[in-house]
A and B are shown apart, each in its own frame.
Chain A
């Protein structure tokens, strides 16, 4: 039971991003951090896996099924992408927006179960008091939490989170990552989160994937990936890892000169 990416090639008109990118299978119950410098293609890789972009060649298999052969609807049921930009201009209430992720496309009324589920997720992320507000009235961080609620009510097999904590305060970052880890383990789903905060990634991710120069340049536990030269090289910084008293890793970064 896993997500497998093999031989993936993709490029935009002016430049090629991936040329035969292959990743070792991502297993259920595993929270992976996708790291790498800006513009390396993390968001594009997510869009390819979610089916929002089509690769020029290569395959993405979910539990042995090629996602290219799945219908848009089926794929969207199994893979959910939380995009990097979560700002919205629609005149919709928070509750409606979260419920949308659960409502079918046949129109009509929402099921009572779905309403209860939305209620629970809003409570879980601590934003049930915002449920009557318009999404346009919320702060960037609150909008990000609303988007996360959509991801959670959706109940996918694969959860792709593109910078899920970029607009959140310190406490919210920790709360969200705790929740994501718990959901990943408890529901046995594959979660990949693109994160710039390597310290946060170290603390919560079971596995690190370093994306650099169109391929997975390093793959493994945090300590292994961060201490290899590939990560320092990719970011163009000097990295030092230190183990804190409680056993967690701390990352120190410095410019090369």
Chain B
């Protein structure tokens, strides 16, 4: 068989992986919606989903206002973190980079803590969005600092990562300072916020996430060849005509918005942004046409599975998702490393 034919087969196989990943995601969401503290059969849940009027009102409320927002939020946040992580690892040529290692989530936690402990809000939003808005503001400002930093001449990718890590420690220290000064009740609230929880999901927040994804995904898609070229290295990409500096800034903007929104809405959920892209890389390699959708789906599946588990461990108790993510993700990730050999990406 000629090389071109083998390439076409590989492309087809990768498309199948994308389809498979989204099918797996659909299954994960169904399980997530079917399971909850109140026991209903899958058929009852399905009926409530399809025609809420034909089931008892309590079940319709549980499915539509409690379970579904949480399940959908899990997918969106997981996908957002997966995409942000994939883009971050590509533009920084660093498989350990994700929005969390670069201080964006610490900044969000700091913003939230500031709102909780001192009642200081930097955006004119009250009510239920007070803490969220503050977390978002700090996450975005941190991204902006990183963003401005890349514009300085002679800044290498390595220095960029170092500045991110420095920000991470700065915000963690500031956070500890606030925690030390807070009352017991405030401290508890801060700790809970940081653990990350999907219980804060609402249809408004889901709408905002959907809007953001609708903005970011077409841009990422339009840049997929350039991003694949960038994964070969800055100079190689530039010699193919890729505007490396501009591309990096565009992607950093996208990453900032995704990570800031995700963290502000559900708190600190680590691991997904780091591991989602690694799972995708093992399955389909770094051709962004497949890498990006599979990273998004992998992130979404991880968070969806974590959401299911957070309800299933102790009946009647929903654990904060931030605790569960790594617990589910690590064994899954390790089993994937052990079962998939390097050459299977073909």
Contact = CB atoms under 8 A, between A and B. Distances in A.
B241 A103 contact: no
Interface in A98-145: 99-101, 103-107, 115-116, 118-119, 122, 128, 131-132, 134, 137
A77 B241 CA distance: 7
B345 A119 contact: no
Interface stretch (B54-62, B280-288, B298-306, B323-331): B280-288
A90 B4 contact: no
Nearest to A46: B239
Contacts of B242: 76, 105
A95 B229 contact: no
B236 A83 contact: yes
B346 interface: yes
Contact of A119 (B3, B231, B232, B287): B3
Interface string B3-42: 1101110100000000000000000000000000000000
A128 B243 CA distance: 30
Contacts, number: 107
B235 interface: yes
B93 interface: yes
B251 interface: no
Contacts of A73: 241
Nearest to B221: A107
Contacts of A77: 241
Contacts of B231: 90-92
Contacts of B236: 83, 86, 88, 147
Contact of B232 (A90, A93, A107): A90
A52 interface: yes
Contact of B346 (A52, A93, A106): A93
A92 B236 CA distance: 14
A97 B2 CA distance: 17
Nearest to B241: A76
Nearest to A123: B3
B228 interface: yes
Contacts of A95: 3-4, 6-7, 10
A89 interface: yes
B7 A99 contact: yes
B232 A97 contact: yes
B235 A128 contact: no
B211 interface: no
Interface residues of A, number: 44
A50 interface: yes
A91 B224 contact: no
B3 A134 contact: no
Contacts of A91: 231, 281, 285-286, 345
A77 B3 CA distance: 25
Given A52-B239, A100-B225, A132 B232 contact: no
Contact of A92 (B224, B235, B287): B287
A77 B242 CA distance: 11
Nearest to B289: A107
Report whether over half of chain B's contact residues are helix, strand or loop; otherwise say mixed. Answer: helix
A100 B228 contact: yes
A48 B240 CA distance: 15
Contacts of B8: 115
Contact of A96 (B7, B93, B243): B7
A119 B4 contact: yes
A67 to B, nearest CB: 13
Contacts of A83: 235-236, 239
B238 interface: yes
Interface in B206-234: 221-226, 228-229, 231-233
Contacts of A89: 93, 233
A97 B230 CA distance: 11
A106 B222 contact: yes
B286 to A, nearest CB: 5
A81 interface: yes
A134 B289 CA distance: 17
A212 interface: no
B235 A119 contact: no
A80 interface: yes
A197 to B, nearest CB: 23
Interface string A62-91: 000000000011011100111101101111
A86 B233 CA distance: 9
Contacts of B2: 119
Interface in A204-235: none
A83 B229 CA distance: 14
Interface of A: 13, 50, 52, 72-73, 75-77, 80-83, 85-86, 88-93, 95-97, 99-101, 103-107, 115-116, 118-119, 122, 128, 131-132, 134, 137, 147, 150, 154
Given A91-B286, A93-B10, A93-B346, 6 more contacts: A89-B93, A92-B228, A92-B231, A96-B285, A101-B240, A107-B224
Interface of B: 2-4, 6-8, 10, 93, 154, 221-226, 228-229, 231-233, 235-236, 238-243, 281, 285-287, 289, 342-343, 345-346
Of all A-B residue pairs in the complex, the 10 with the closest CB atoms, nearest first, are A76-B241, A131-B3, A90-B231, A115-B4, A81-B239, A91-B285, A95-B7, A91-B286, A73-B241, A119-B4
